[in-house]
A and B are shown apart, each in its own frame.
Chain A
Amino acid sequence: MGELDPGFKYEVMREPGGEQLKMCFSCTGCTVSCPVSEIEPMYNPRRYIHQTLVGMRDEVLGDEHLWRCVQCHSCYEYCPQDVKVTELISVLRSLSEREAKKGRVRIKNPLYLFENAFAESVRRHGRVHESMVIAKHIWKTKGLKGLMEFMPLGKAMFFKGKISLFAKSISKRDQVQKIFEIVREGEH
C-alpha cells in the first residue's frame, strides 16, 4: 500500500464535480444501485469514496476499474447526501489521467484514448465525426481483427446511409475552439 495522503480529499474537492465528497455517510446506496458493480464487484463507488476520504491516493488513481463507470447516474440519483457520485468518479478519472500523463499510472482501459480522440474531433470540427473516430479507435486498440469483427455492422450501416465518410464542420468552429482553449487553460 502506498503512503496515505491526507490532502487527497481536498485535491478531489477542488475539482468541478468533487465538491460534495465529504457529505458521504457511507450508506452504500451508490454501490447497491450500480449496474456495473452488479457485474464486476471490483468497481465499487462507495469504496472509492472511502479510499479518497482516508487518503489512499495511489490506490484510487491507479485503479483500473475506475474506467468502468457507464455514467448512468444511478448512484447520483440514489445518494441521499447529494454527493453527485457519478461526477465524483469522473473527477477521479480525470486525476488518474493526469497521473498517467506524468507516467506515474498506466491506464489499460482504452476508453480514455477514445475520449481524447473524440474531444479532438469536436475541437477541430465543432461536431464529432463519429464513424471516423470509432473506426480509428477500433483499429488502434483491436487491429485488423477488431475491424473485421465490425465489418458486418459497418457494411449494413454503410448501405443504409448511416455512415458519413466526411466530417461535417460547423461554420463557427472558432467559437468552439475558443471554448476548448479557455476551459483547458483553467486546468491544473
Chain B
Amino acid sequence: MKTYSFYPGCFVEGSEVEYAKSCEKVFHELGIGIKELEDWNCCGALELTTNKALVIALSARNASIAERMGYECIVPCNICYNNLRKAEHEIKNKTKVGEIAIKALKEAGINYEAKIPIRHLLDVLINDVGIEEIKAHVKKPLSGLKVAPYYGCLVVRPSKICAFENPVNPTSMDNILETLGAEVINFEHKVKCCGGSTLMGDRDTSFELSAEILEEAVRKGADCIAVVCPMCHTMLDGQQAMIESQMGKKFGIPVLYLTQLMGVAMGLSSSDVALDKNIVPAENILNKISKEGGV
C-alpha cells in the first residue's frame, strides 16, 4: 500500500466536508494510505495577492511538513495545489522571491529543500492509481449518467509549473469518469474560470463567470457537473441559487466532487460520500443511473 501525506487546506477542512469525506473513503477503497499533514497552515489561497513572498513562504511551510513526514503530498484543492507548486518552483530555482521565503522559513526554524513531490489529487488518481486499477474497483457503473467534467483554472495553469495535464484540453477527469461508466459531455468550459476569487470583491463578475459554466452544462443535457476544487464547488454548488436569482434563470444542476462520483461507482453508500452535504440536492443523480449493467 502506497502512503501519501495529505494537505486538505482550510476550505476542504472547514466547509467542503463532502470532499474531505469522499477523498478519505475512496482512497481507503483504493488501498491508498493517507496521513494528514501535521499542524498545517493556510497557504494564503488567492487572498494574499499583494504579497507573493508571503504566499510562497506560507505554502512552503506546508510542503516542508510533507518533506519531514517523508511522504509525497496529495492536495485536493486547485488553489492550494497551485500555491504549493509555485513555492516549490520559486525555491528550487532560487528566485528572488524564493530566497525571501527561505529566509523567512529559516528565521521561523523551518528547513525546506523542495524535494518532496507535491501532487494534485487528480494527478495521483490518473498517474499513480491509473485507469485499470480504478476500473477494477467499479461495482456500480454510472451508466446513463451524463457528466460535465469541470477542471477549473489552477490545476492546469500555469502549465510550466503545474505540469501534469494539458492546459487547454485536459482529459484525466474525462477518462476517469468514462471508466466509472458515465457518459462524459464534451465540455468547452472545462478550464474556464468560475470567478471564485472575486466573490467578495466583485460578485457580479464572479456570478457571470460561473453562470457561463452552469449554462453550458444544462444546455448540453448534463445530469451533474464533476469538480476537483472546493472553490469551484462553492461557486457552482453553494452559490448556484444566488446566481439563479441574480440572473433570473433556473439551473438546478447538482455539482459533485469527482471523489463522490467515484465512491458511488465503487459501491459506497451515499452517506460514505456525503451526498447529503451538497447544497444543490445531489442524491437525485442516483435515480438517473440506469440499473442495467450494474450489480
Residues in chain A within 8 A of chain B (CB atoms): 16-17, 19, 35-36, 39-40, 67-74, 76-77, 84, 87, 90-91, 93-94, 97, 109-112, 114-115, 118-119, 122, 126-128, 130-131, 134, 137, 149, 152-153, 156-157, 160-164, 168, 170-172, 174-176, 178-180, 182-184, 186-187
Within 8 A of A (CB), among B270-284: 276-277, 279
Q: Is the CB of B201 within 8 A of A114?
A: yes
- Enumerate 18 A-B pairs (CB-CB under 8 Å) in ascending A order: A67-B202, A68-B205, A69-B198, A71-B49, A71-B153, A71-B154, A72-B153, A73-B82, A73-B154, A74-B193, A77-B159, A114-B200, A122-B48, A137-B200, A149-B242, A179-B107, A186-B53, A186-B100
Q: Taking A71-B197, A170-B41 as contacts, is the C-beta distance between A109 and B202 under 8 angstroms? A: yes
Find the A residue at minimum CB distance from B212: A35
Residues in chain B within 8 A of chain A (CB atoms): 10-11, 13-17, 39-42, 44-54, 57-58, 61, 82, 95-97, 100-101, 103-105, 107-110, 153-154, 157-159, 167, 192-193, 195-198, 200-202, 205-206, 208-209, 238-239, 241-242, 276-277, 279
Give complex CA distance A152, B279 in Å.
Answer: 11
Complex interface: chain A residues within 8 A of B205 (CB) = 36, 39-40, 68, 70
Find the A residue at minimum CB distance from B240: A153
Q: Which of A110, A126, A182 contacts B200 (CB 8 A)?
A: A110
Q: Is the CB of A112 within 8 A of B242?
A: no
- Tell me how far the C-beta of B166 lies from the nearest C-beta in chain A, rounded to whole angstroms: 11
Complex interface: chain B residues within 8 A of A77 (CB) = 157-159, 167
Q: Is the CB of B277 within 8 A of A160?
A: yes
Q: Is the CB of B42 within 8 A of A68?
A: no
Q: Is the CB of B153 within 8 A of A74?
A: yes
Give complex CA distance A160, B16 in Å.
Answer: 10
Give complex CA distance A70, B198 in Å.
Answer: 6
Give complex CA distance A183, B56 in Å.
Answer: 10
- Tell me how far the C-beta of B135 lies from the nearest C-beta in chain A, rounded to whole angstroms: 32
Q: Taking A153-B241, A186-B53 as contacts, is the C-beta distance between A71 and B46 under 8 angstroms? A: yes
Q: Which of A112, A118, A131, A182 contacts B15 (CB 8 A)?
A: A131
Complex interface: chain B residues within 8 A of A90 (CB) = 49-50, 52
Q: Is the CB of A130 within 8 A of B11?
A: yes
- Tell me how far the C-beta of B26 lies from the nearest C-beta in chain A, rounded to whole angstroms: 20
Give complex CA distance A149, B14 in Å.
Answer: 22
Indicate the member of A90, A149, A187 with the most B CB atoms within 10 Å. Answer: A90
Complex interface: chain A residues within 8 A of B82 (CB) = 73
Q: Is the CB of A94 within 8 A of B197?
A: no
Give complex CA distance A65, B137 in Å.
Answer: 49
Q: Is the CB of A179 within 8 A of B277?
A: no
Q: Is the CB of B201 within 8 A of A110?
A: yes
Q: Is the CB of A179 within 8 A of B54?
A: yes
Q: Is the CB of B202 within 8 A of A68?
A: yes
Q: Taking A16-B96, A87-B52, A149-B242 as contacts, is the C-beta distance between A176 and B17 under 8 angstroms? A: no
Q: Is the CB of B193 within 8 A of A35?
A: yes
Complex interface: chain A residues within 8 A of B277 (CB) = 160-162
Q: Which of A76, A114, A164, A183 contacts B47 (CB 8 A)?
A: A114
Q: Is the CB of A179 within 8 A of B58?
A: yes
Give complex CA distance A110, B206 in Å.
Answer: 14
Give complex CA distance A17, B61 in Å.
Answer: 20
Q: Which of A73, A137, A164 contacts B153 (CB 8 A)?
A: A73
Give complex CA distance A87, B52 in Å.
Answer: 8
Q: Is the CB of A115 within 8 A of B158?
A: no
Complex interface: chain B residues within 8 A of A76 (CB) = 157-158
Q: Which of B40, B48, B108, B238 contacts A119 (CB 8 A)?
A: B48
Give complex CA distance A35, B154 in Å.
Answer: 14
Give complex CA distance A178, B54 in Å.
Answer: 11
Q: Is the CB of B108 within 8 A of A179?
A: yes
Q: Which of B50, B110, B157, B159 contacts A115 (CB 8 A)?
A: B50
Q: Is the CB of A162 within 8 A of B17?
A: yes
Q: Is the CB of B100 within 8 A of A183?
A: yes
Find the B residue at minimum CB distance from A90: B49
